[in-house]
Chain A
Amino acid sequence: MSLELNEVTLTYPDGDGRLTALDRVSLDVPGGTLAAVVGPSGSGKSSLLAVAATLIRPDSGTVAVDGVRVEGAAPARLAELRRRRIGIVFQQPNLLASLTAAEQLQVMAQIDGRPPRKARPRALELLEAVGLADLADRRPHRLSGGQRQRVNIARALMNDPAVLLVDEPTSALDHERGAAVIDLIARLTREQGTATVLVTHDRGHLDAADQVAEVLDGRLTAPATTG
């Protein structure tokens, strides 16, 4: 389980020219490691995450998810990679209003072609892992912001991903709840052995990370090992 980005460059059209969002970025995250990527707004953090999530093709460079190179892969193959090897924790929980907490996780089995009903035990297990076992049948509007974010995290782990990509998970939470969410992600990273990339602009939660790299104007500093 690992995520490898090598010399990745990504540009966007910008008027008559092009804006460089990522400039020869390299990042290697082994399994069981929580790598934090910090930087101010507009520095390229979200672009880095989008490339790692196979949602954007870089102009150049290579991306390998769990050892699988993604450049040149067809959209259907990328979708398969996302549902089987990548877990995404969105900045906002992005839960589906019609589904209960457990069903938010079961839907991951459904989009992978497996019967959602049979996935319920695993969904309940993960909800228990994030402390929501007794709220499994609640819909999002009856959950707090922190609870929704925990469902979001549990959903990302539902298909046992090799790579976990976490996008600003504490942006809508107060400090205490944000710290709890970061601790949860760190714990699950070690328990599940995922290669986790945590993108954040909040430097207050970096103690939980194994690596910290800073992105500025599309360039990534060499990751520093913490602790």
Chain B
Amino acid sequence: MFVAWRDLGFAKGRFALIGAVIVLITLLVGMLSGLTAGLARENVSAVTGLPADLIAFDRAEGDGGPSFSDSAVTEGQWREWARAPGVQSAEPLGITTTKAETGDGASAAVSVFGVRPGGGLGPVPGGSGDDSAVLSEGAAEDLGAGEGDTVTVAGRELAVVGVGGDASFSHTPVVWTSLGAWQGIAPPSGPGVPSDGTSGTNGTGGGGDGGGTATVIAVTTDGSTDGGTGTDAALADTDEKAGTTTVAKADSLAAIGSYTSENGSLQLMRGFLFAISALVIGAFFTVWTIQRGPDVAVLKALGASTGALLRDALGQALVLLVGGTAAGTAAAAALGAAVSGSDVPFVLTPGTVLAPAAVMVALGALGAALSVRRITSVDPLTALGSAR
């Protein structure tokens, strides 16, 4: 690094320029990562917060995968899951997005999550009547409502018995209510539900005993089955009997249409930024290495080993990369902290700031490595008799 350090100081302008580019790209990647995570949280936090391992969807007909918007499960399917071996609990969960209003005219789009009171899936306490609701903080804020108030959801009046949590689904705050109330708000529909819309059997299996319906079944396993993938034979057998498609909770996020499209677009942008940074850094070091060619030839003629010259050049690239990335990450963290408390959905965690920085350094180093390898082909003979 003897020559590399001095080159950094001597060619300040050039290195400052590429350093600034690295800082800005890192800042952009960091902000995008925080926003992606923030938007994802608004999309899926109600699902990721469920105390369950698996989510069972009504088996979709056609080639589409599981979907929260299309799924409708019957009580029969729920009962089938509830008595399945290896299953600790199976709770029906109704989900619908609709409009909520208060008496003083406030209104907001909300996602209504219908759960069995006291079932443990949501904060609706046991003994609550069908017409009670627990508002997430976002819903309470949007509606200006609190405990003791009444909110009207899709024409049905619900008494607010509590406010808590920051669950949201598909960018709308969650209103927890009883499964019965949810069924009144969102008349069940879907391939597994008979046309009377209240009960029925489903698909090839199903309990067939009628009763209430829901959107999905949240399943908690006792650990004896492979709850992580849902490929365990017992679970597959239950799926077959119940006519459901079961996936791990983490995988069920792909069944939220808005999440899949939004997250996919943002991740694509992030990927392009990573690729651009590697290309920009690679291009810079390609030009820099070509400019240094005569110096490299002299050093080789004087006896410097190719390995030492490569280490020198890569070390220089790493100094630049780590320095630029650190500055960009610090800027992203500062900016993220500033906007975190506002309406901007931004998540500031090591995962959203440090992980992209590490990827930036790794890809930048790869770009630099591909560029400086031309050092190996510099002929020291060119130093003899050369006119520089």
Task: List A residues at the B interface (Cβ < 8 Å).
Answer: 46, 49-50, 53, 55-56, 75-76, 79-84, 86, 88, 90-92, 94, 96-99, 103, 106-108, 110-112, 116, 139, 155, 159, 167-168
Contacts and interface: CB of A to CB of B under 8 A. Distances in A.
A51 B280 CA distance: 41
B6 A103 contact: yes
B2 A116 contact: yes
B320 to A, nearest CB: 15
B384 interface: yes
A167 B388 CA distance: 14
B118 interface: no
Contacts of A90: 298, 301, 383-384, 386
Nearest to A168: B385
B9 interface: yes
Contacts of A79: 300, 303-306
Nearest to A112: B303
Contacts of A55: 301, 380-381, 384
B302 A108 contact: yes
A167 B303 contact: no
Contacts of A112: 303
Contacts of A107: 2-3, 299, 302
Size class of the B contact interface (CB-based, 8 Å): 20 to 34
B194 interface: no
Nearest to B11: A98
B308 interface: yes
B295 interface: yes
Most chain A Cβ neighbours within 10 Å, of B294, B295, B306, B384: B384
B11 A49 contact: no
Chain B binding surface SS class: helix
Contacts of B384: 46, 49-50, 53, 55, 88, 90-91, 167
Which 6 pairs of residues, A with B, have the shortest CB-CB distance? A83-B303, A98-B10, A82-B303, A111-B304, A110-B2, A98-B6
Contact of A84 (B10, B303, B383, B385): B303
Contacts of A75: 306
B387 interface: yes
Nearest to B380: A55
A105 to B, nearest CB: 11
Contact of B308 (A108, A111, A159, A167): A111
B304 A94 contact: no
Contacts of B300: 79
A139 B383 CA distance: 20
Contacts of A50: 381, 384
Given A50-B381, A111-B308, A167-B385, A96 B301 contact: no
Interface in B283-331: 294-295, 298-306, 308
A98 B76 CA distance: 79
Contact of A82 (B2, B302, B387): B302
B7 interface: yes
A94 B2 contact: no
Contacts of A159: 303
B297 to A, nearest CB: 8
A99 B301 contact: no
11 contacts: A46-B385, A90-B386, A91-B385, A91-B386, A96-B299, A97-B295, A98-B11, A106-B2, A107-B299, A112-B303, A167-B384
B150 to A, nearest CB: 76
Interface in B348-388: 380-381, 383-388
A96 B303 contact: no
A94 B298 contact: yes
B387 A111 contact: no
Contact of A96 (B295, B381, B385, B386): B295
Given A55-B380, A91-B386, A96 B298 contact: yes
Contacts of A76: 305
B267 to A, nearest CB: 41
Contacts of B6: 96, 98-99, 103
B301 A92 contact: no
Interface in B213-238: none
Contacts of B10: 97-98, 139
Given A92-B388, A98-B3, 12 more contacts: A53-B301, A55-B381, A79-B304, A83-B302, A90-B383, A91-B384, A94-B298, A96-B3, A107-B299, A111-B302, A116-B2, A155-B302
Contact of B9 (A84, A88, A98): A98
A120 to B, nearest CB: 12
A111 B305 CA distance: 7
Interface in B108-165: none
Most chain B Cβ neighbours within 10 Å, of A55, A99, A108, A155: A55
